[in-house]
Amino acid sequence: MPDEPDTRPPPPPGSWLRRNDGLEFDRVIFFTDAVFAIALTLLVVQIAVPVLRVAPDKPSTMLNALSDSMPEFIGFFIAFILIARYWMAHHLFFAQLRAVDRGLIGINLIYLAFVAFLPFPSALVGHYEQNPISVLLFAACLCVISGLEVVEFRHAHRAHLFRKPMPYDVYRYGVISSLSPVVLFVVTAPLAFINPTVCLLSWLLSIPIGIFLGKRAPAGLEDVMIGYESSKTKPASS
Q: What is the pLDDT of residues 193-226, one digit of tens each?
A: 998 888 888 888 887 887 887 777 776 566 666 5
User: DSSP letters of 64-82?
Assistant: HHHHHTHHHHHHHHHHHHH
Task: Please tell me the pTM assigned to this model.
Answer: 0.75
pLDDT surpassing 60 at residue 230: no
Distances (CA, A) of 204 to 29, 85, 90, 111, 200: 27, 11, 18, 21, 8
State the average pLDDT over residues 47-58. Answer: 76
Backbone torsions φ then ψ of 16, nearest 5 degrees: -120, 115
Backbone torsions φ then ψ of 162, nearest 5 degrees: -75, 150
Beta-carbon contacts of 125 under 8 Å, excluding residues fewer than 6 positions away, are 71, 75, 79, 134, 135, 138, 200
**Residue 214: exposed, middle, or buried by beta-carbon count in 10 A (0-12, 13-18, 19+)?**
exposed
| Average of per-residue pLDDT values in the chain | 79
Task: Give residue 37's pLDDT.
Answer: 92
pLDDT surpassing 90 at residue 36: yes
- SS3 label, residue 225: coil
